[in-house]
Amino acid sequence: MSATFKTLDELDLKNKRVLLRADLNVPVADGKVTDATRIERLVPTIREIVKHDGKAILLSHFGRPKGKVDPQFSLEQVCEAVANETGHPVGFVATDWTDVSGAQAAIESAPPGSVLVLENTRFHPGEEANNPELAQRMASLGDVYVNDAFSAAHRAHASTEALAHLLPAAAGLAMQAELEALESGLGKPKKPVIAIVGGAKVSSKIDLLENLVTKVDGLVIGGGMANTFLHAQGYSVGKSLAEKDLAETALRIMDKAVDSGCAIILPIDAVVAWHFKADTPTRLYGVDAIDNDGMILDIGPSSIERITGAIDDAHTVVWNGPMGAFEMNPFDAGTVALAKHVARRTHEGKLVSVAGGGDTVAALAHAGVKDAFTYVSTAGGAFLEWMEGKPLPGVEALKK
C-alpha cells in the first residue's frame, strides 16, 4: 500500500493476464546478456504474479529500432536471461504490434503461472508517440497492468503511459522500492538534507541545480562543473574544463540558493595536473592559486574535510555525479573518500543516502560501496528528471 500510487497487493492477480512493463533494455553482446541487473530486479514481481497463477506477460523496449521490425533488436535474445534469473521457463511471443491476434492466441493457450516475453514495443512507431490505438492493442493482451520499469518512467510512451489508463494499474515491487527510496531522499526527507552534485558540465544539469537549491539545506558542487562556479566567482581555473559562457547561470543559481536558505559548498582546494591522463604528475593548489597551465581534476583534502563535515551534519544525502575525473588514478580520490564516508554514516544509521545516474553508479562501484548506500538507482534519465523535480509520466499514470 502507498498513499499516492497503487501497489501490487492492491491488484487481483488470481488467474489474470498481467501485462508487466519491464525494462529489458539490457546490454547484449553476441546474443548474450552481459549485465542482468535490470532483470534481477524484476524477479520479486514475476514471482508474485506466478504465485497467484497469473500469467506474467513482460513488455519492454529494447534499443532503438525506430518504429520498425528489426530482428537485431528482437527481445527473443533476452528470454534465456529472464529464464535464468527467474528460474522459470520463459516463452517468447512475436508480434509486429500492428496485428496482435497471434499474440492473443499464444497468451490464451499458455497455462496459468506462465512467464512470457512480448516482442520489442518499439517495433511500432506508436510506442514512442504514446499512440492510443497501439495502447488499446496492448491492453487487449492483459487484464491488469503492472509497471516495474522506473528507468523508463520519464517517457510518456504507449507502454508506460497510455496503457496504464486502460487497465487496473499498479507499481511493481521494484518500482515501489524505487519510489519509496526517492521519497525518503527528496519527497519527505529527514532534514537537514544535502545534495552532492558533480560531473563534467553545468549545462547538462542546470534544471537539476535550480530545483535542488529550493529543496535542500546544502548543495555540494564538485567535478568539472565546480570550475564554472569558481570561474564565475572570479577565480582563475587555468586550463580546467569550464563553461565560461555559463558564468551568469552559475551566479543566478547561487543567488537562488541564498534566497532559499541553501548553503552552496564549493571546493576550496584542488588536485591539478598538466595532462588529462592517468598517473600523471599532480600538485595541490588552493582554488585561489590554480596554475595557469594546470587542469583541476579532483577536489583536494581540505575540500574533502569540509564536505565530510557537512555530511556529518546531515540526515539525508542525495548524490549525482563524481567529484573528479574518477576513471583515472589518482583523480578518483575525492569521490572515493566521500562515497566511503557516506557509506560509513549510512551503516551507522545516521544517514539516509540515495544516489543515482550512470556515472555515479560506476563511481560508487569503483569505491566498493554501491551496496552500502540506502538506495542506488540504476535509472539514468528517470533519476535525473526526478532530481530535477519533474513529474514522471509513467509514475503519474499509476497515481490514485
Catalytic amino acids? 38, 201, 358, 381
Q: Which of positions 20-59 make contact with ligand AMP (CB under 6 A)?
A: none
Rounded to the nearest whole angstrom, what is the least distance from the CB of residue 295 to ligand AMP in the complex?
7
d(CA 396, CA 400): 9
Q: Which of positions 250-309 make contact with ligand AMP (CB under 6 A)?
A: 296-297
d(CA 359, CA 337): 16
Q: Give the contacts of 52 (CB within 8 A, at least 6 positions apart).
A: 13, 14, 15, 16
Bridge-partner residues for 354, per DSSP? 318, 375
* Position 238 contacts ligand AMP (CB under 6 A): no
* Position 126 contacts ligand AMP (CB under 6 A): no
How many residues of this chain bind ligand AMP (CB under 6 A)? 17
* Position 332 contacts ligand AMP (CB under 6 A): no
Q: Give the contacts of 184 (CB within 8 A, at least 6 positions apart).
A: 190, 316, 352, 354, 374, 375
Q: What is the DSSP letter of 245?
A: G
Nearer to ligand AMP, 185 or 223 (CB): 223
Nearer to ligand AMP, 177 or 241 (CB): 241
* Position 161 contacts ligand AMP (CB under 6 A): no
Q: Which of positions 197-236 make contact with ligand AMP (CB under 6 A)?
A: 198-201, 204, 223-224
CA angle in degrees (0–180, nearest 5) for 153-90-158: 25
Shortest Cβ contact with ligand AMP: which residue?
Answer: 199
Rounded to the nearest whole angstrom, what is the least distance from the CB of residue 271 to ligand AMP in the complex?
9
How are strands ordered across the β-sheet holding 193-197?
263-265, 218-221, 193-197, 316-320, 352-356, 375-377
Q: Which of positions 354-373 make contact with ligand AMP (CB under 6 A)?
A: 359
8 A C-beta contact, residue 36 and residue 81: yes
- Options 44-52, 85-93, 150-158, 318-326: segment touching ligand AMP (CB under 6 A): 318-326
- Options 209-217, 306-314, 322-330, 374-382: segment touching ligand AMP (CB under 6 A): 322-330
* Position 387 contacts ligand AMP (CB under 6 A): no
* Position 143 contacts ligand AMP (CB under 6 A): no
Rounded to the nearest whole angstrom, what is the least distance from the CB of residue 3 to ligand AMP in the complex?
33
Question: Which contiguous run of DSSP H or E holds residue 317?
Answer: strand 316-320
* Position 321 contacts ligand AMP (CB under 6 A): yes
Name which position in 42, 169, 325, 352 contacts ligand AMP (CB under 6 A): 325
Name which position in 31, 327, 347, 368 contacts ligand AMP (CB under 6 A): 327
Look at strands 295-299 and 269-273 and give their pairing.
Answer: antiparallel
* Position 334 contacts ligand AMP (CB under 6 A): no
Rounded to the nearest whole angstrom, what is the least distance from the CB of residue 334 to ligand AMP in the complex?
9
d(CA 398, CA 400): 7
Nearer to ligand AMP, 186 or 221 (CB): 221
Look at strands 144-147 and 115-118 and give their pairing.
Answer: unpaired
Nearer to ligand AMP, 172 or 322 (CB): 322
HSE-up (13 A, CA, CB side) for residue 51: 10
* Position 329 contacts ligand AMP (CB under 6 A): no
Rounded to the nearest whole angstrom, what is the least distance from the CB of residue 320 to ligand AMP in the complex?
7
Cell triple for residue 20? 508487466
d(CA 367, CA 370): 8
Name which position in 185, 324, 393, 394 contacts ligand AMP (CB under 6 A): 324
Nearer to ligand AMP, 156 or 241 (CB): 241
How are strands ordered across the β-sheet holding 144-147?
90-93, 115-118, 55-59, 17-21, 144-147, 169-171
Neighbours of 310 (CB within 10 A): 18
Nearer to ligand AMP, 189 or 224 (CB): 224
* Position 172 contacts ligand AMP (CB under 6 A): no
Neighbours of 282 (CB within 10 A): 20
Nearer to ligand AMP, 213 or 387 (CB): 387
Nearer to ligand AMP, 42 or 339 (CB): 339
Beta strands in 155-294 (DSSP E): 169-171, 193-197, 218-221, 263-265, 269-273, 282-286
Instruction: Give the residues lining the site for ligand AMP (CB under 6 A).
Output: 198-201, 204, 223-224, 241, 296-297, 321-322, 324-327, 359
